[in-house]
Amino acid sequence: MERYIRNNILSLEPYSTARDDFKGGDISVWLDANESPYPNGVNRYPDPHQKKLKDRISRLFNIAPESVFIGGAGSDEAIDIVFRVFCEPGNDNAIAITPSYGVYKVAAAINDVEIREVLLNDDFSLPAERLLSAADEKSKLLWICSPNNPTGNAFPKKDILEIADRFDGIVIVDEAYADFSEKGSLIEDIDEHPNIVVLRTFSKAWGLAGLRAGIAIANKNIIKYFDRVKYPYNMSSIIQNELLRHIEAGTGNHIPETTEEREKLAAGLRKVNCVKTVYPSDANFILVKVTDADDLYGYLIDNGVIVRNRTHMPLCADTLRITVGTPGENRRVLKLFKNYKSICNETPGERRTSTVCRKTSETQITVAVDLDRNIESYIDTGLKFLDHMLWQIPHHAGIALDITCHGDLEVDEHHTMEDVAIALGETLLKALGDKRGIERYGFVLPMDESRAMVLIDLGGRIDFQWDVTFTREYIGDTPTEIFRHFFHSLCCAMKCNLHISARGENNHHIIEGVFKAFARALKMAVKKDEFNYELPSSKGIL
């Protein structure tokens, strides 16, 4: 391996830390490292050799601890170290597939190393001959990402091994997403192929992106140079301990759910008209080719969903990369894709729609409403009972309603209830526009033994009356006293008169009746009389 290592690194005398001289023994007084002697959990330096962690990780991957390098800035540190250990700045070059993960190129530029990008084949397969013929005697590195970001496909192991056998340099295989793939890992091949370096990260399948821990696995004659070059204390004791804790507990591993959801999402996307191709994925994301990536990207953002627009990457025109989310998040994305199609087919200006995104330190809410179409709705506030109630609105008002809320439910339900009501009211008011042609008023309905009356006037003046009595403190996860506040907030945000009264015995029926009657009242009030373009007011203004 030595012949691939930079000369100055071969002869590098690494920094020796205070603890390197310590060979064990019964020490109770530590006065060697100029640390503070006062305990606070982190007053001592961490183990620079990360011995415990290396042992644990080596058992995880069934390899020798000497084959493991641990980086404290996710994969970024390992990527940078590869350049620093092997490439002479301003002289050597590296080869990389494209499209692929952008950090290889940035790390090359930082280290003043020329990068030669080789386009994947049109079907995203590895262009072995073109990769090898891009190399000359100064090509030290060849970067392959498998499963590849953003294309999502893993390359067959035999194709990578063949390249490694024929390339006179180091082949780095970034397996950040390999946990989601069934195509196998190159970790088991490092002994027979000593020029392969495999990168792994704890940011993806392990769910620890915030921790920033990545690893490189390779022949021990490579890893020893990585360890010499790294900053001595590159992993804080907090990260080391947390990582050990998570590995021990085996938490964060949602691989089966993620791959199952990936296939469901892919199947759903294939049915949507604006999606032209759903590329097969071995990762936790899906690349899709759509009719107009820029437009769809903007539409998704307007609706509170962000994906990655990859349209400007080679071979990726009009593509979006979508991370597989929770089942609820994936349903919402699918719904937005479906509605985008139907919205595209309509003449603009026909429909009264609006979206309000409301962000405070307590809640993050997106509400979208379409008063003129009963297309699929989506509601997820984190409060199951509130969701159940809110579903009455699209159902009984015959409108489309999307509500997503991430609220501080760990405090209590108050902020979520209040802010959802405000955002809902604002969205409805905005969608009503100039109110021309609307019926303006709107309802009384029975629900079994209960009766709910909701009177509404969208005239623009605010008055709220509430005459509803509950006999239980809670219904589901929601305290009953909050419903008055919910409708009051909604009323103020919608600038309307809202008089609500309800009687009954069953508390669930009472409040469900109120939501239903509100929806019906809303339906009547927002309905447009096709032949009447007048303002429903003798004053001439609403």
- Binding residues for ligand PMP, rule: CB under 6 A, are 74-76, 101, 145, 149, 174, 176, 201, 203, 209, 214
Q: 275 Cβ partners below 8 Å, 6+ apart?
A: 269, 288, 289, 290, 337
| Closer to ligand PMP by Cβ: residue 75 or 363 | 75
Pairing status of strand 478-479 against strand 285-290: unpaired
Question: Look-up: residue for tokens 């640390």?
Answer: 35
Nearest Cα residue to 6 out of 112, 77, 103: 112
Say how many CA atoms lie within 13 Å of 343 toward its Cβ. Answer: 20
Are the CB atoms for 199 and 78 separated by under 8 Å?
A: yes
| Closer to ligand PMP by Cβ: residue 176 or 239 | 176
- C-alpha pair distances (Å), 219 with each of 71, 138, 196, 318: 16, 22, 8, 41
| Closer to ligand PMP by Cβ: residue 102 or 328 | 102
Question: At its nearest, how many Å lie between ligand PMP and the CB of residue 72?
Answer: 11
DSSP per-residue string spanning 185-223: -SGGGTTT-TTEEEEEESSSTT--TTT--EEEE--HHHH
| Closer to ligand PMP by Cβ: residue 312 or 384 | 312
Q: 35 Cβ partners below 8 Å, 6+ apart?
A: 43, 44, 45
Question: At its nearest, how many Å lie between ligand PMP and the CB of residue 388?
Answer: 37
Question: Look-up: residue for tokens 């979520």?
Answer: 416
| Closer to ligand PMP by Cβ: residue 74 or 536 | 74
Question: At its nearest, how many Å lie between ligand PMP and the CB of residue 382?
Answer: 27
Phi, psi values for residue 130, rounded to 5° = -65, -35
Are the CB atoms for 471 and 502 separated by under 8 Å?
A: no
CA angle 176, 180, 182 (to 5 degrees): 115
Calpha distance 113→8 (Å, rounded): 16
| Closer to ligand PMP by Cβ: residue 14 or 280 | 280
Question: At its nearest, how many Å lie between ligand PMP and the CB of residue 138?
Answer: 25
Question: At its nearest, how many Å lie between ligand PMP and the CB of residue 74?
Answer: 3
Question: At its nearest, how many Å lie between ligand PMP and the CB of residue 101?
Answer: 4
- Is the alpha carbon torsion for 254, 257, 259, 264 positive or negative? negative
Token pair recorded at residue 470: 């509950």
- C-alpha pair distances (Å), 526 with each of 230, 343, 392, 433, 461: 65, 20, 16, 11, 16
Question: At its nearest, how many Å lie between ligand PMP and the CB of residue 201?
Answer: 3
Nearest Cα residue to 274 out of 366, 196, 341, 208: 341
Question: At its nearest, how many Å lie between ligand PMP and the CB of residue 175?
Answer: 8
Calpha distance 200→213 (Å, rounded): 9
Give me the helices (H) in 127-198, please. Answer: 128-133, 157-166
Question: At its nearest, how many Å lie between ligand PMP and the CB of residue 285?
Answer: 9
The CB-nearest residue to ligand PMP is 74
Question: At its nearest, how many Å lie between ligand PMP and the CB of residue 80?
Answer: 11
Question: Look-up: residue for tokens 């195509």?
Answer: 183
Q: Which residues of 386-405 are buried (b: 16+ CB within 10 A; e: fewer)?
A: bbbbbbbbbebbbbbbbbbb
| Closer to ligand PMP by Cβ: residue 171 or 526 | 171
Amino acid at 528: K
Question: At its nearest, how many Å lie between ligand PMP and the CB of residue 79?
Answer: 8
| Closer to ligand PMP by Cβ: residue 76 or 292 | 76
Calpha distance 315→296 (Å, rounded): 19
| Closer to ligand PMP by Cβ: residue 75 or 381 | 75
Nearest Cα residue to 448 out of 509, 392, 508, 393: 509
Question: At its nearest, how many Å lie between ligand PMP and the CB of residue 521?
Answer: 49
| Closer to ligand PMP by Cβ: residue 71 or 513 | 71
The secondary structure of residue 156, as a DSSP letter, is: P
| Closer to ligand PMP by Cβ: residue 173 or 519 | 173
| Closer to ligand PMP by Cβ: residue 202 or 515 | 202
Question: At its nearest, how many Å lie between ligand PMP and the CB of residue 386?
Answer: 35
| Closer to ligand PMP by Cβ: residue 145 or 288 | 145
